[in-house]
Amino acid sequence: MEKLSPKFKYEVAQEPGGEDIKLCFACGICTASCPIREIDEGYNPRRIIRMVLLGMKQRVLSSDFIWFCSSCYACTERCPQGVRFTDVMNAIKNLAVKQGYIPASFTQQIDILKRFGRLYEIDEFDNKKRVGFGLPRVEKAKGFTNKIMVLTELDEIILRNNEK
């Protein structure tokens, strides 16, 4: 069995959005409201909170299910304790990434964003079409997104993952 990390809940609480996790009194309205849980029982918000509070750090951070949140905010709106579970999930995922856990589809998206500044490249062909439809041209991105990714060290995180 995994050695527990009692301080894990404080780590989550320190991340932006994770602050309120300790207020959870386990009523389960998050789980009852979750459209993902309705389809896949492997994803269970109340259980994830319990696991964090119990300090099951490695099991949570290395799990696939933390990436299943659709970020619909149904749980956040209904929580009687004001736990922003959607943001708690982001806090957990941020920590997971720092440990080297990130789904391949995310690294691919980041790579596209670095190159084009957008999720889709708008090239000359697209611009011809746009002009044909009466839409203004879209100029090539100026590389701001790439710069921000470099300075916030997202690059290094991804590189570390690729080495793993």
Partner 1 sequence: MKYALYPGCTVLGRGRNYEMAAREVAKAFGIEFVELDDFECCGFPVKSVNYETFMMMGARNIFAAEEKGLDICTLCSACTGSLTEVNKHLIEHFDEKTRIIARLKRNGINYRMGRDITIKHFTKILYEDIGVSEIEEQIEKKLSNLNIAAHYGCHYLKPTDIYDNPEDPENPHSLDELIMVTGANSVDYNEKMRCCGAGVLAISEDLAYSIVRPKLQELSKNSVDAMVLHCPFCSVMYDDNQKKIEQKFEEKYNLPVLYYPQLLGLALGIDAKLLGLRMNRVSTRAFLEKVGI
Kindly give, in sequence order, each residue whose CB lies less than 8 Å from that of residue 5, ignoring residues fewer than 6 positions away. 55, 56, 57, 58
Buried/exposed 27-37: b ≥16 CB within 10 Å, e otherwise: eebbbebbebb
Q: Is 161 in the site for partner 1 (CB under 8 A)?
A: no
CA 66/CA 51 separation, integer angstroms: 12
Q: Is 109 in the site for partner 1 (CB under 8 A)?
A: yes
Provide the 8-state DSSP code for 37: T
Kindly give, in sequence order, each residue whose CB lies less than 8 Å from that of residue 133, ignoring residues fewer than 6 positions away. none
- Name the residue type at position 139: E
**CB of 79 closer than 8 Å to CB of 21:** no
Q: Is 147 in the site for partner 1 (CB under 8 A)?
A: yes
Applying CB under 8 A, what is the total number of residues that bind partner 1?
57
Q: Is 71 in the site for partner 1 (CB under 8 A)?
A: yes
Nearer to partner 1, 81 or 145 (CB): 145
Nearer to partner 1, 49 or 86 (CB): 86
Per-residue contact track with partner 1, 20 to 39, x per CB under 8 A? ---------------xx--x
Which three-class secondary structure state does DSSP give residue 47? Answer: helix
- Among 31, 44, 63, 86, the residue binding partner 1 under the rule CB under 8 A is 86
- Among 1, 16, 162, 163, the residue binding partner 1 under the rule CB under 8 A is 16
Provide the 8-state DSSP code for 136: P
- Among 77, 115, 128, 159, the residue binding partner 1 under the rule CB under 8 A is 77
In the complex, least distance from residue 69 CB atom to partner 1, rounded to whole angstroms: 7
Which window, 1-9, 24-32, 46-54, 73-81, contacts partner 1 (CB under 8 A)? Answer: 73-81
**CB of 26 closer than 8 Å to CB of 50:** yes
In the complex, least distance from residue 26 CB atom to partner 1, rounded to whole angstroms: 22
